[in-house]
Amino acid sequence: MLSHDDNEKLVRVGAGTPMGDLFRLYWIPFYLSRDLTPDGQPKRVKLLGEDLVAFRDTAGRVGLVANACAHRGAPMMYGRNEDCGLRCVYHGWKYDVTGAVVDMPAEPVRSRMKERVRIKAYPCRERNGVVWTYMGPDAEAPALPNMEWNLVPEANVSLSMRIQECNWLQALEGEIDSAHAPLLHGRIDEKGSINDWVAKKDLRPTFECVRQDFGMSIAARRRFDDTTLYWRVNQFVMPFYSLVPPQSKYPELSGHAWVPMDDENTVCLMFSYHPAQELYPKTRALFENGHDGRETGHASRHAYAEKDASTPYADYWTKFSPATNYRFDYRSQETTWFSGLPGLWVQDAACQSGIAPVYDRTTENLCSSDTGIVMTRRFLLESLAAYRERGIRPQGVADPDVFMVRAVSLQLPEEERWADAGRIHMQARLGESFGYKL
């Protein structure tokens, strides 16, 4: 179990909290480029507990500024996005993407007030369809992380965002726990490709964990045949990324950035990509449209719920939430699906968020299959202590190449160690395929 105090350290993300300060050392992916249009309606954003507004100006630059106008606190989410700036509708103060005041129409022409007043603003950069921001303490932001999914050609990758109503750690722990996958995501009617998963051959995996410069490798060992073991190695990458190995006949690498909106809600950026070729058209279609009315790993275009623009991240809320019981269907549980929940990511979200947005971890009874979760929590707590008490930053803050990591699925002879055999395959190399038999 996790003590109440340690759980609080890990899930509270506001400014000045241990985890909030650690997150702010990194560039944070917070929006999809396609959803911000030049001179379009500003988007209300909540990020690490801060109330913000994102907009794309006339020239195509993205700004991320405080929702409260620096004048008298009027909401900037109602601002006019015009002529390379966001103008408050209360008194017309206008800000550019850097937070500088560029116009004060109600002030005398000779006033120099705009030279000394700014609205809080965070720098933004875009790469391959994702908008990143840096909310940290350094005047000069570090380099963007070199994450393979954000570096391959756009045709190779599929991206989606959705909101999950729990803290970031509950969401992340669901993906680094691979013991649940063949059970929660399984069928009872022996139909469908999910029953072809190699992991279903052995529902009692043994786990090994290795600390890495990037975070933690969590390896699940299963019996493949009389002489061969099947290893699935999920990766936790600091500060909030999880990477999942390939396994389908249309293989791709996938994972999430579990970005905290606040202590109780998470922006889930999912990425799926092929490292060396365009994503299979069938795979992309499944992600975008779902399958027979069910969700896949990505939130489909049918999954989203209409929200008022005043709602933070209004574009990314879905119909599957605690309020709708995740559309649980007991009849399908009786006849078809082990869980009765309508699709892959919905099954995960319901189990991660269904009880409470911040679950009381002192009530847990952890077992051997939770080894990766225990080790990841310990790694995070030690990283917090190192930074807070001794000023030691995680290696990835200054070294963008630390993030060039892949998750792997390996079939190996019993005598061969996964950590040795998988080392080269766990290193991401742009343009190179998986490098082993899938």
Measured CA to CA, the distance from residue 144 to residue 378 in angstroms comes to 26
Distances (CA, A) of 331 to 337, 339, 341: 9, 10, 10
Q: How far is CA 18 from the centre of its chain?
A: 20
Measured CA to CA, the distance from residue 283 to residue 279 in angstroms comes to 7
CB-based contact 168:240 (threshold 8 Å):
yes
* Ordered strands of the 43-47 beta sheet: 43-47, 50-56, 62-66, 121-122
In the DSSP assignment, the letter for residue 116 is: T
Residue 196, pLDDT score: 53
pTM to 2 decimals?
Answer: 0.94
Residue 115, pLDDT score: 87
Pairing of strands 86-87, 94-95: antiparallel
What are 286-327's pLDDT values in tens digits? 999 999 999 999 999 999 999 999 999 999 999 999 999 999
CB-based contact 274:281 (threshold 8 Å):
no
- Give the list of residues 6+ apart from residue 433 with CB closer than 8 angstroms, or none: 274, 275, 276, 277
Beta strands in 175-306 (DSSP E): 206-211, 215-223, 228-237, 241-244, 253-260, 266-273
What are 144-198's pLDDT values in tens digits? 999 999 999 999 999 999 999 999 999 999 999 988 888 888 888 876 655 555 6
Closest CA to 25 of 136, 100, 122, 177: 136
Q: Half-sphere exposure of 258 toward its Cβ, with a 13 Å CA cutoff?
A: 29
Q: Is the pLDDT of residue 131 over 80?
A: yes
What are 26-38's pLDDT values in tens digits? 999 999 999 999 9
Domains defined for the chain, CATH in brackets: 27-134 (2.102.10.10), 148-421 (3.90.380.10)
- Which tokens sit at 174? 């669901």
Q: What are phi and psi of 289, to 5 degrees?
A: -115, -10
- Which tokens sit at 330? 């007991």
Measured CA to CA, the distance from residue 278 to residue 157 in angstroms comes to 7
pLDDT range class, residue 257, cuts 50, 70, 90: very high
Q: Is the pLDDT of residue 62 over 80?
A: yes
- Which tokens sit at 21? 């300060």
Please state which of the ranges 99-113, 149-163, 200-214, 241-255 shows the lowest mean pLDDT: 200-214
Measured CA to CA, the distance from residue 169 to residue 265 in angstroms comes to 10
Measured CA to CA, the distance from residue 426 to residue 404 in angstroms comes to 9
* Ordered strands of the 101-103 beta sheet: 80-81, 86-87, 94-95, 101-103
